[in-house]
Amino acid sequence: MKSLPVRWSAELILLVLVVSGLGSGCGHRDSRLFWTDGQWIRDSSGRVFISRGLNLSDDNKFPSPVTGEFIPGWFNADCFAEIASWGFNTVRFVLTWEGLEPESGQYNEQYLERLEQAAEWARAAGIYLIFDMHQDLYSRKFYGDGAPEWAVLDEGLYFLPLGNGINPDLWYLNYTSPAVEKAFDNFYENTNKIQDHFIQTWQRVAERFSGNPAVAGYDLLNEPFPGSRLLQLDDFDRDYFQPFYEKLISSLLQVDSDHLFFFEPNAMRTNFLAGSGFPSGFSKFSIAQEKLVFAPHFYDPEVTVTLDYDGDISRLEKTMDLLVREAQRLQVPIWVGEWGLWGGAAGHGNKFLADQLTVYDRYLANYSFWDYSRNPTDRASPVNSTWIQDILIRPQPSFIAGIPLALNYDMEAGKFELKFKEETPGLASEILVPTRFCRPGDCRVEMEPVRSNSWEAGKSQGVNILKVLSNSKGTELTIRISKD
């Protein structure tokens, strides 16, 4: 290569910056790491991104009794490497307001540094992070998690815990406590500017990760509860909830224009009404439409209550159909941020999980399983329940150079099939294939029509990437992978 001249003029440097798009505010630079088109999440080249992953983790909700940190001692780079080896490409990473702003206006820089380290570990493993601002029962003051105690505006109402002392699995009954409802009401009404504190805390996180390629986006608030407005859900969504979301998103855009915003419906519509509470009181958002993702949770209430699955997949399909229709109405993609087994156990639980995966594939949905933890007491974690691993680990589409049409996995036969309409010649689709399913030399790959393909090692051991190059536009391509 010919050497560059030593002396550059200021005008020439400016020209180079403008043409290359590296100048701050100069020229046009498409900085979108991911964006949405109203139905799909897409990467910067336009490929459809299918987000399949795990939550990490329940232990992140509370400070360690030993260190006081909100990130457990067992957490390290190997966690992401293991998740990637199972064929997943995303992690919904649980964090809390209390951990970030333990005292009013005082931010935990050590916590933010640990989150930066997590993002670096994720990037090295080929994992994208979705940071989740988690809460359950608003705060640890109510035997939950989320807000620091100084941000609990319950007006001194007496709190009598329900469920916790009798049956820990019924902790959610405490949402009906007047003290908990009052804390939520004051949050949505921004009493004493408490909502503004929350938004400023989120800004701290977004500012820290602006432009970070390991981060896909932000799940703005976990399972938001409507407070005392349980019987006025549409009014709550319209008058309080959506304005809160739009105010939060607008504030985050001031510091980070790169990442997606995952917004959840109020928890009554999914956790308690099993999807039948839709359509919501939301209207199409007025801002950031190309960055929004609808992020409901999906816990089947009959299995939650009875701890037994009756095998009725049609009930799961009906709920999923309602969730997808809501996303379509709002003109955004869908990502099921949590799903799994309540408490990690249920009768016929293996069929329940397999049927849920079948439904997600039929609807070509993005999802994040609850949860990944190395805490041996966590029965929901596939680390501790190898039978859950056996159901979850399979080939997964990651990037698709076209419009997805159908996705199917036959667990008994060990056969994966993806069908899509090619959209952009020259781009490669990528399918993550765990070696626990099959190694490249032991995989049978079939395509109709035939396309060139190649194998590439994933960033983490235990997973390989099947890359299939598109060479036409509008052709329906089917890819099949099976154990040879």
| pLDDT tens, position by position, 297-308 | 999 988 988 899
- Is 71 a residue whose pLDDT tops 70? yes
Residue 37 is classified by DSSP as -
If one compares 170 and 368, the residue with the highest pLDDT of the two is: 368
Residue 362 structure tokens: 């039929």
Average pLDDT over residues 113-123: 98
Helices (H), 268-385: 301-306, 313-330, 349-362
Q: What is the rounded CA–CA span in Å between residue 182 and residue 242?
A: 19
CA dist list (Å): 433 to 50, 231, 421, 463, 464: 14, 47, 21, 6, 5
Percent of the chain with pLDDT over 70: 92
Q: For the chain, give me the number of helices (H) and strands (E)? A: 13, 21
Q: What is the pLDDT, as a whole number, of residue 167? A: 61
CB under 8 A, 24+ apart: contacts of 306-311: 307/342, 307/343, 307/345, 307/346, 307/347, 308/346, 308/347, 308/348, 309/346, 309/347, 309/348, 309/349, 309/351, 309/352, 309/355, 310/348, 311/348, 311/351, 311/355
33-393 is classed in which CATH architecture?
Alpha-Beta Barrel (3.20)
Residue 307 structure tokens: 């701890």
Strand order in the sheet with 443-448: 402-410, 415-422, 476-483, 443-448
Cβ burial of 399 (10 Å; 0-12, 13-18, 19+) is: buried
Average pLDDT over residues 134-161: 96
Answer for the pair 429, 467: CB distance below 8 angstroms, yes or no.
yes
Tell me the per-residue pLDDT of 224-256, one tens digit each, with 9 for 90 and over. Answer: 999 999 999 999 999 999 999 999 999 999 999
Tell me the per-residue pLDDT of 443-471, one tens digit each, with 9 for 90 and over. Answer: 999 999 999 999 999 999 999 999 999 99
3-state secondary structure at position 410: strand
If one compares 86 and 271, the residue with the highest pLDDT of the two is: 86
Answer for the pair 283, 237: CB distance below 8 angstroms, yes or no.
no
Q: Where in the chain is the domain with CATH 2.60.40?
A: 398-484
Determine the straight-line distance between the first and last CA of the chain, rounded to whole angstroms: 47
Q: Where in the chain is the domain with CATH 3.20.20.80?
A: 33-393
The contacts of residue 461 (CB under 8 Å, 6+ apart) are 81, 85
Q: What is the rounded CA–CA span in Å between residue 397 and residue 432?
A: 6
| β-pairing verdict for 443-448 and 476-483 | antiparallel
Q: What is the rounded CA–CA span in Å between residue 438 and residue 349?
A: 25
Residue written as tokens 């999802």? Answer: 367
Q: What is the pLDDT, as a whole number, of residue 15? A: 28
- In 346-393, the DSSP E strands lie at 366-369
3-state secondary structure at position 150: helix
Radius of gyration over every alpha carbon of the chain, rounded to an integer in angstroms = 23
Amino acid identity of residue 199, one-letter, is I
- Is 28 a residue whose pLDDT tops 80? no
pTM score = 0.93
Tell me the per-residue pLDDT of 266-291, one tens digit each, with 9 for 90 and over. Answer: 999 998 887 789 999 999 999 999 99
Q: What is the pLDDT, as a whole number, of residue 484? A: 76
Tell me the per-residue pLDDT of 209-229, one tens digit each, with 9 for 90 and over. Answer: 999 999 999 999 999 999 999
Q: Domain 398-484, what fold?
A: Immunoglobulin-like (2.60.40)
Q: What is the pLDDT, as a whole number, of residue 164? A: 57
- Is 8 a residue whose pLDDT tops 70? no
